[in-house]
Amino acid sequence: MKLIALLLSISTLVNAQDLLKNVVPFRLGASVNPRLLAENEAYRNIASNEFTSMTAENHMKMMLIHPAADRFDFSKGDEIVAFAEKTGKRMHGHTLVWHNQVPQWMKDFQGDQKAWEAMLKNHIQTVVTHYKGRVSGWDVVNESFLDDGSLRPSLWADHIPDYIAKSFQWAHEADPNATLFYNDYGQDGHPKKMQAILDLVADLQKRKIPIHGLGLQMHINVDSKRAEIQEVISKSVQTGLSIHFSELDIAVNPKNNPEYSYEASAQNELFTFVFKAYGAIPAKQQYGITFWNVTDKDSWLRGYFKRPKEYPLLFDETYVKKQGYHTLVNFLQHAK
Ligand code: XIL
């Protein structure tokens, strides 16, 4: 028995070196779905073993966590936080203020500016307070700019002047220890959007508004231009803020060609590029890299965008590590 135990622990040790999370010096995360965590053992095992940070894919968003004006539903968010704690991971909060996945009662809300502010402040502070000390960082505001750099029209922009700064302040009041992020996508190839975000950061910093991090979602695809991605990273790093690649996936079939058959090499190379570029960020600014869900099967690109022939992550639909996973581990082991 002892021998078997010894052999098992040796093999765990050997394999441990092959885990992606063990060859990166920063947090490696995934967003997760609580139903899959509860019901699907293979999913749960990967989520448990492969990552050191966790994000709720949907269950901390306004629509799910605050379904009625006088009711919050923390049940699913709590399940994810409990899982993260049990398996020794950091929990990242996503997201307090967004134009999407807003409950109907908020859309129907009536009131003057003061009433809107009180409503949003109550939302932010109740959620942040509930998770105080258990969630390390928050995506406070998500996706506020359009590709042309203008402020995205939304409930919040329409009713609350300066809602971004106010949201950061309210979140900070509720948990002064939380790392507070502005999170957005698609700055690569959209220089005006990138500039708007950099201007926002500079403005908040000048006004001493507590912003601590920039989330670059990194929903990219095999045609994304490396020089553009690198430019976004470099400019973001220059703000001095923590940088989170917060929702990484690499689409291989962005035009949803029904005849598409999976070809790994361009994707593998781009994953390597992304990890290499992240590795070059000063360590104190590395909040981590988070994948947007765990396996190709669970990706929002298949579900939300209805692209069945999409393979954007590092685990396949049978919950097996893809070639890209091994390529990345191999690259990172030798890059050390
Ligand atoms: C997506 C989820 O993955 C889907 O399940 C949901 O239906 C819609 O939202 N940017 C974000 C995330 O900040 O919250 C989005 O998540 C993906 C784009």
Å from CA of 58 to ligand 1 middle: 7
Is 294's pLDDT higher than 80?
yes
300 within ligand 1 shell (Cβ under 6 A):
yes
182 within ligand 1 shell (Cβ under 6 A):
no
Tell me phi and psi for residue 286, to 5 degrees: -90, 100
Please state, rounded to an integer, the average pLDDT across all residues of the chain: 96
What gap in Å lies between CA 82 and CA 89, rounded to an integer?
A: 10
Higher per-residue pLDDT: 237 or 4: 237
Is 11's pLDDT higher than 60?
no
Structure tokens at 107: 């859309």
Ligand 1 pocket: which of 96, 304, 313 to mutate (most atoms within 8 A of CB): 304
58 within ligand 1 shell (Cβ under 6 A):
yes
Task: Dump pLDDT digits (tens) for 235-292.
Answer: 999 999 999 999 999 999 999 999 999 999 999 999 999 999 999 999 999 999 999 9
142 within ligand 1 shell (Cβ under 6 A):
yes
Transcribe 102-171 into DSSP letters: --HHHHT----HHHHHHHHHHHHHHHHHHTTTT--EEEEEE--B-TTSSBPP-HHHHHSTTHHHHHHHHH
Structure tokens at 274: 């992304």
Segment 60-81 mean pLDDT: 98
> Which is the closest atom of ligand 1 to the Cα of 33?
5
79 is catalytic: no
**Which residue in the list 57, 117, 247, 310 is annotated as catalytic?**
247
Band of residue 335 on the pLDDT scale cut at 50, 70, 90: confident
231 is catalytic: no
Task: Spell out the domains of the chain, with CATH numbers in brackets.
Answer: 26-335 (3.20.20.80)
**Which has the minimum average pLDDT: 16-20, 94-98, 248-252, 277-281?**
16-20
Is 162's pLDDT higher than 90?
yes
pLDDT of residue 4: 64
Is 300's pLDDT higher than 70?
yes
Is 2's pLDDT higher than 70?
no
Segment 216-233 mean pLDDT: 98
Is 6's pLDDT higher than 70?
no
57 within ligand 1 shell (Cβ under 6 A):
yes
CA–CA distance from 65 to each of 42, 44, 70, 73, 101 (Å)? 27, 22, 11, 5, 10
* Residue closest by Cα to atom 4 of ligand 1: 300
Å from CA of 92 to ligand 1 middle: 15
Task: Dump pLDDT digits (tens) for 254-265.
Answer: 999 999 999 999
pTM here is: 0.95
Is 210's pLDDT higher than 70?
yes
> Which is the closest atom of ligand 1 to the Cα of 143?
13
Helices (H), 240-311: 265-279, 300-303
What gap in Å lies between CA 244 and CA 96, rounded to an integer?
A: 16
pLDDT of residue 12: 52
